[in-house]
Structure 1
Amino acid sequence: MAESSYKLIYYDIRGLAEPIRWMFKLAKVDFEDERIPVENWKEEKYRFEKQMGRLPILQVDDKFELSQVASITQYVAKQFGFNGETEMDAARADEVHELLYDLRLCAATQLKSEKSPSDPDIFLHTVFRAVCNEANLSKKVLMKKSLLNIFPKYLEKINSLLQQSSGQYLAGDRITYADLAFANFMDICHTMVNPDLLNDYPCLQDLIDEVLDLPEIREWMDPSREKCPPLPTGA
């Protein structure tokens, strides 16, 4: 039986789709990584009206198409063994993924007043750049302070899940997409919000370091590791 072919379509950022890319790399499965520059989205989004004008999109064998980040992430995780060894592991991975999405949504809500009409309509995917790219230092400090207030309760919850886990990972003794999503999210936050976010959570930091040190992920990230590229205007 021929192997399936995969095409992942997303913006030219790490964002919500990076853990999906990592799963392909860790599973040593080839995939087409189509990246749409953020500055081109205003024109490109009309290609995706059937998908509600949202990315990511996963195409399988040019026959099956899946939208919505949670659906794609969970599908790829099940295909390649990143959804845990038990049903409880899978449920725990889902829980962590949803917690991270809620945290990102809270951050977007917190910064909603800072969003200008010229910001692209993928703000949720690029929310931390609004802080990273703020030129006014005083305003930047206030934005970071307001953001930092929302992290502790989520980090406390995720840290407790790690402590309760039967293994060294967030959902059991085998790495799952929850670990990948958490490592990606916090690595972005370290760069764009505050490098000291996990000072009180050494076990979570150890988990992130372990994930980012996986050879496949380290090699994938080295050439173009996202720092803080500016948001385009008029997108």
Structure 2
Amino acid sequence: MSTMPQYRLIYFNARARAETSRMIFAAAGVEYEDVRITKEQWRTEKSSGKYPFDQVPCLEIDGKFVLAQSRAIGRYLANEYGFAGRSNLEKAKIDMIIDVCEELYVGVRQIFFEKDETKKAEHKADFVVKADSILAALEKIHVANNGGSGFFVGNLPTWADFEFFVRMEYAPFFDVAILDRYPKLKALVERTSSIPQIAAWLKKRPKTEF
């Protein structure tokens, strides 16, 4: 008789690169330890040599550090718990959306951590143009799947929907109204947040700036 793995997801007290995996855990109803370390703790942890690539997030399974890299962790959990698509083509479409969402994250991160206000404004102006292009393409992809009345791929939520939701939480950093220009995507964000398990997670999760 198999037993449920014991998971520890290790990251900082931030959404950033770990939140999609947290949402998969929530949607799947799988218990895990949400380990949130401080920057000071990380200095000690990093020097321990036990983290692959000396980075977090890391997923520990049954007491062993098995996975680093946020998308590898998310893909593993999505495959384990039914949020990765039902065919190789669906999986590829999901990966496509995940990869372009990474571009959204990198752009927002550059804005968030820029200290020079002039450069920050320049980054925002440039990024809004890029984000508009990405969102326009994603809206077409979404509409092509059941008219945009459900989720990105297939008939059920996948980790692509969770990833997109997480990235759109950062919209206020560059354009608070950007989703108003993409009503199908805005409805997708609302639909994702209304999934009961996700809604419960959003209500109880720690409040963080980034």
- TM-score of the superposed pair, with normalisation by structure 1: 0.78
* Percentage identity across paired residues of the two chains: 26
Post-superposition CA distance 1:88-142 (Å, at most 9, x none): 211111110011113333x27xxxxxxxxxxxxxxxxx444226xx584x65543
- Check the 8 A contact 2:51/2:58 in 1, yes or no: no
Aligned match of 1:170: 152
> What runs of 5+ residues in structure 2 fail to find an aligned partner?
none
Amino acid paired to 1:142: E
Query: Structure 1 pair 225/210, CA: closer, same or farther in 2 (3 Å)?
Result: farther
User: Aligned to 1:149, what secondary structure does the other structure show?
Assistant: helix
Q: What is the alpha-carbon root mean square deviation over aligned residues? A: 2.3
- Report the count of equivalent residues: 206
Post-superposition CA distance 1:56-102 (Å, at most 9, x none): 11111124611111211111001100012222211111110011113
Distance in 2 (CA, whole Å) between partners of 1:15 and 1:135 is 22
Distance in 2 (CA, whole Å) between partners of 1:170 and 1:84 is 10
Aligned match of 1:77: 78
- TM-score of the superposed pair, with normalisation by structure 2: 0.86
Distance in 2 (CA, whole Å) between partners of 1:205 and 1:47 is 43
Aligned match of 1:55: 56
- The residue correspondences of 1:62-211 to structure 2 (distance < 5 A) are 62-63=63-64, 65-105=66-106, 107=107, 126-130=109-113, 136=117, 140-166=120-146, 168-187=150-169, 189-211=170-192
Q: How far has the Cα of 1:50 moved from its partner?
A: 4.4
User: Aligned to 1:85, what secondary structure does the other structure show?
Assistant: coil
> What runs of 5+ residues in structure 1 fail to find an aligned partner?
109-125, 229-235
Q: Is 1:216 aligned to 2:193, yes or no?
A: no
Distance in 2 (CA, whole Å) between partners of 1:36 and 1:50 is 14
